[in-house]
């Protein structure tokens, strides 16, 4: 049985696929970026939990990351559409089907990246904070 952390990351990947964009998990940037953009989900860092006793619970503010990448002549508009689609699917299910207490994305910090012999990329890392509790930090 997968851990709570793994189920939450899988649920986030599934929700992101609802944005209509290609979603990869933990992959390297491919040579070609789809016309509508690409999302790469990184598991991120769960951080140190707050602990409550009786019953024992570990409360996490896990910071996952979404790498959003677009390429092409209309990359500014495409990037804006991509970010808006991420926000919309997260806002539609803030608990990932009841697995999390709350899911919240932070604002992206876009950068333009030059590519030799091809159109430049526009990319950003979008932190996503996953608030959840578990009875076991490994389970």
Tell me the per-residue pLDDT of 49-74, one tens digit each, with 9 for 90 and over. 999 999 999 999 999 999 999 998 89
Dump pLDDT digits (tens) for 103-131: 999 999 999 888 887 778 999 999 999 99
* pLDDT of 114: 83
Number of domains observed in the structure of the chain: 1
Would the pLDDT of 96 be above 80? yes
Report the CATH number that the domain containing residue 61 is assigned in CATH: 3.30.70
25 DSSP β-pair partners? 41
Tell me, yes or no, whether 109 lies in a domain.
yes
Q: Give domain status of residue 44, yes or no.
A: yes
Residue-wise pLDDT tens digits, 12-44:
999 999 999 999 999 999 988 998 999 999 999
- Residue 83 in contact with residue 68, Cβ under 8 Å? yes
Task: For the chain, give the mean pLDDT.
Answer: 94
Question: Residue 98 in 3-state DSSP?
Answer: coil
Say if CB 43 and CB 9 are below 8 A apart. yes
């Amino acid at each position: 049985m997968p851990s709570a952390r793994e189920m939450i990351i899988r649920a986030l990947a599934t929700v992101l696929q609802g944005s209509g964009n290609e979603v990869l998990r933990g992959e390297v940037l491919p040579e070609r970026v789809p016309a509508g953009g690409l999302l790469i989900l990184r598991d991120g860092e769960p951080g140190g939990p707050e602990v409550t006793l009786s019953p024992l619970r570990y409360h996490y503010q896990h910071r996952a990351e979404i790498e959003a990448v677009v390429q092409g002549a209309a990359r500014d508009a495409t990037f804006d559409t991509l970010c808006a689609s991420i926000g919309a699917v997260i806002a539609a299910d803030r608990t990932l089907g009841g697995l999390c207490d709350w899911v919240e994305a932070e604002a992206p910090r876009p950068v333009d990246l030059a590519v030799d012999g091809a159109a430049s990329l526009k990319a950003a890392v979008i932190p996503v904070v996953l608030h959840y509790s578990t009875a076991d930090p490994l389970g």
